[in-house]
Amino acid sequence: MIYSRRTIIEESDILKEIKRNVTREKEVVQALKKENGLTWEEDGVVYMEGRVYIPNNRKIKEEILKENHNLADVEHPEQHRMLELIKRTYWWPELKKDIKKYVQGCFKCQQNKVQHQRKAGELHPLEIPKGPWQEISIDIIEPLPKLNGMDRIVVIVDRFTKIIRLKTTIMNISLEGIAKIYRDEIWKLHEISRKILSNRGLQFSLKFMKKLIKALEMKKQLSMVYHPQTDGQIERINQEIGMFL
């Protein structure tokens, strides 16, 4: 006779549910055919090396996982301890995977989880612009499927109003070409920007920024290619454009 932690398994509701399920995984059927004494069937229940085989029934599995994790006498064990508890009595394919998923989805466990990562550095948010088109962000979405010879999009965002200007362009566009897009899309419609934010690195840090700064007395503020989170606004807008496309 096999005993569970809390009740005699022969008298439990779980056993009754097991007997109602006649569907069995292929590996269990093959193990029964071997007749090597490690796997056998008795009174409608299959035993795998002395443990009760649980058929592919979500309700039964959820009940067993709950009994071995949520109840007060087990106190929310971690994955390895929970696996040890369940394997004393039960077995089913991918048992370890189901335990991991259950523990990771436990709200109480996540609340009490110890964080081993290093503490994140302090955030230094950008100053809020004082008016429309005084500060803008520039980026390029690439590569895209070619349409009418165009396979890139220049994204220009006003940090104050969040207005977005999009301009299709070609793959090998030069910095001077991007500057012309800025001139045609921003200068002729809005105030002269006093600050430009970009995470394009050296591509924008030389000719493009140099010429605009000299001509318009802008304040230069660049983020690095490997730290695009400096300008999270335009990164988020790029995601939205990608979803739309």
Mean pLDDT of the region 125-129: 83
Q: What pLDDT does residue 86 have?
A: 92
Domains, the chain, with CATH or none: 9-111 (1.10.340.70), 135-244 (3.30.420.10)
Predicted confidence (pLDDT) at residue 174 exceeds the cutoff of 80: no
Predicted confidence (pLDDT) at residue 121 exceeds the cutoff of 50: yes
- Which has more pLDDT, 188 or 145? 145
In 3D space, the residue among 140, 138, 141 whose CA is nearest the CA of residue 156 turns out to be 138
Rounded to two decimals, the pTM is 0.45
pLDDT tens-digit map of 57-98: 888 899 999 988 887 777 788 889 999 999 999 999 999 999
The per-residue b/e assignment along 138-151, b for 16 or more CB within 10 angstroms, e otherwise, is: bbbbeeeeeeeeeb
- Which has more pLDDT, 77 or 12? 77
What rounded mean pLDDT belongs to the chain? 78
Predicted confidence (pLDDT) at residue 112 exceeds the cutoff of 80: no
